[in-house]
Chain A
Amino acid sequence: DTEVTQTPKHLVMGMTNKKSLKCEQHMGHRAMYWYKQKAKKPPELMFVYSYEKLSINESVPSRFSPECPNSSLLNLHLHALQPEDSALYLCASSQDSSGGRRDTQYFGPGTRLTVL
């Protein structure tokens, strides 16, 4: 089973709203990732959590705030977003990030975010 789930599937929010994206996996993976994907572009890495600790922040604006409450869950808190933040937000997980076959990443279905 290589399932990563994400909620909600779609989200429309205003620039003053606060919302959260959720990601869950039950594969025992210890590394989880957030990506942002704009139309006709490849996914861009935002954050990496390894063993529930933030290990990579790709200079993402502070209006995006990640949280990893436990090894199965990953949240992305959104506040004061801009219309240019509209995109597909993808969560992924891997066994860990130590290299070799354990770093294979499996993606969730994504959340389509529209900021008005």
Chain B
Amino acid sequence: QKEVEQNSGPLSVPEGAIASLNCTYSDRGSQSFFWYRQYSGKSPELIMSIYSNGDKEDGRFTAQLNKASQYVSLLIRDSQPSDSATYLCAVITGGGSEKLVFGKGMKLTVNP
């Protein structure tokens, strides 16, 4: 079973809409969760980290974590064309591992 699963994409939303990206993980001991944004040809850029159950907001971005359901999501409000990128969910696996495991990524397109 793959350790980090993201919804298959791509996802296309109109400008100004809310984009919702979802991710599940298999290692119940995981404690650290991240969302990275990657523009085509560029390296991953950290946009959100979350460690506790609940919501964490940063500007137009909200990360949600539910450890009981092993689920983490990212909401992008008022989506802009500049948000068009691939979004990678990443999880530090539990048990003292130093491994950051990525989901396969979701390509988001925001249409003007």
Contacts and interface: CB of A to CB of B under 8 A. Distances in A.
B102 to A, nearest CB: 4
A41 B104 contact: yes
A20 B31 CA distance: 35
Interface stretch (B13-21, B37-45, B62-70, B77-85): B37-45
A56 B98 contact: yes
B49 A101 contact: yes
A54 to B, nearest CB: 11
Interface stretch (A11-19, A62-70, A71-79, A104-112): A104-112
A86 interface: no
Of A41, A103, A108, which is in contact with the most chain B CB atoms at under 10 Å from its CB?
A: A103
Given A106-B46, A107-B43, A100 B31 contact: yes
What interface size band does chain B fall in? 20 to 34
Contacts of A90: 43-44
B46 A99 contact: no
B100 A99 contact: no
Contact of B32 (A33, A43, A55, A99): A99
A42 B51 contact: no
B51 A109 contact: no
Contacts of B34: 104-105
Contacts of B103: 42
Interface of A: 2, 31, 33, 41-43, 45, 48, 50, 55-56, 88, 90, 92, 97, 99-101, 103-110
Interface of B: 31-32, 34, 36, 42-46, 49, 51, 88, 92, 96, 98-105
25 contacts: A2-B46, A33-B100, A42-B88, A42-B102, A42-B103, A42-B104, A43-B88, A43-B102, A45-B101, A48-B98, A50-B98, A55-B98, A88-B43, A90-B43, A99-B31, A99-B32, A99-B96, A100-B31, A103-B92, A105-B34, A106-B46, A107-B44, A108-B43, A109-B42, A110-B42
